[in-house]
Amino acid sequence: MSLVRPMRISFGTLTDRDVLLVRAQTENGTEGWGECVAFSAPVYSPEYVQGCREVIERFFAPAILGRGEIRAEEVSGLLEGFLGHQMAKATIETALLDAQLKENGQSFGSYFGATRSEVDCGVSVGIASSIDRLLEEVSLYVAEGYRRIKLKIEPGWDVDPVAAVRSAWPMIPLQVDANQAYALSDTEHLVRLDRFDLLLIEQPLNEHDLLGHAELAKRMQTPVCLDETITSLADARQAVALGAAEIINIKPGRVGGYLESVRIHDFCKESGIPVWCGGMFETGIGRAANVALAALPGFILPGDTSGSSRYFHRDVTQPFVLEGGRLKVPQGPGIGVTVDLAFVEEITTEVWRIGAV
Ligand code: OSB
Ligand code: MG
């Protein structure tokens, strides 16, 4: 699917998304959907669409299909012997969870322990060709009601664009995301962002640099938030213990699924670490589940859970539309949204059938 607004990040420009969808079927014929959040190329994390497809087909599906009837809660244990590949694992677990909850008539939100019926939404804004263009784009989002703006930054595109947005909207909740573009030696420069009253700075340094993030967190007033670094509850525990994460962005695909996301949420809530729900340009399928997760009580900051129109001309479910800067948590069973099968078929490029389907 092509993106309505291409997003430039320090690692490149995303103009479209190749979306891998898993459709699982139970013995009773109930269907469940999982959306894989990997991009076509391994630029955000080591995973990529065709790699996910391969690892699912070759390793994960046989391990699961060989077990007869299994519950979604058993998936991560069954796949534990296969290392990494969190996004692929999350896809399988989510598809099975959707089918399971549809059979029980329970929504994702209710199953996760959601305490809100709607969630505050933010929007992530890519690196623009000029500050004027950036201000134009941000003003569209502000007019649409977004409750928080996130600006992508990189060396050469940081203090000036942030200053311009802050002076145009003195009160708007504002944060920045560097996608690992800086080094600890940039600390003095990054400290210049402290004057803009930012909610947080996301993933300033390399994903493996826990000690660097801890050091930077001591030297910056702006709270340091981790995204790419956190691929599990164990990572979250270590980052928090080291002082490397004052806030955590939870992306369910990155951490191996919604069940691990809930565990990270619970740990962070106990530890006084705010969390928020990140995004990976999900279609309505992944978005529905993200919005349900973002309704948990520890998600105290607005997420990158934007409306469908920020991403696609047409979504594969009913579109998510902001109302007063919020999205409603779907209440129906499972993901709670209906997949437009005819449209999915129309845009499908390849199909793999695995098992007795
Ligand atoms: O780092 O959060 C990120 C998009 C692609 C890759 C990485 C990131 C992002 C975003 C956009 O910030 C999130 C979204 O709106 O889905
Ligand atoms: Mg990020």
Domain with residue 241: its CATH number is 3.20.20.120
For residue 270, CA distances in Å to 202, 240, 246, 260 come to: 22, 12, 13, 15
Element (H, E) at 7: strand 2-9
CA distance 28 to 224: 47
Same domain, 76 and 133: no
Give me the residues paired with residue 275 across strands.
Answer: 248, 299
Residue 53: pLDDT band with limits 50, 70, 90: very high
- CB-CB neighbours of 353 under 10 Å: 8
What pLDDT was estimated at residue 5? Answer: 92
Same domain, 258 and 282: yes
Same domain, 152 and 299: yes
Residue 68: pLDDT band with limits 50, 70, 90: confident
Residue among 49, 177, 207 whose CB has most ligand 1 atoms within 8 A, to mutate:
177
CA distance 321 to 340: 17
Same domain, 52 and 135: no
Same domain, 56 and 92: yes
Q: Among 159, 135, 131, which residue's Cα sits nearest to residue 149?
A: 135
Q: Among 282, 259, 265, which residue's Cα sits nearest to residue 78?
A: 259
- Using CB distances shorter than 6 Å, the residues near ligand 1 are 7, 44, 124, 177, 179, 227, 278-281, 304, 306
Calculate how far, in angstroms, residue 7's C-alpha sits from the geometric centre of ligand 1: 9
Give the structural domain span for 209: 111-328
Dump pLDDT digits (tens) for 19-52. 999 999 999 999 999 999 999 999 999 999 999 9
Please give the tally of structural domains in the chain: 2
What pLDDT was estimated at residue 356? Answer: 66
What pLDDT was estimated at residue 67? Answer: 87
158 Cβ contact list (under 8 Å, min separation 6): 176, 178, 189, 190, 193
CA distance 4 to 245: 32
Q: Which of 89, 102, 150, 152 is catalytic?
A: 152
Catalytic, 152? Answer yes
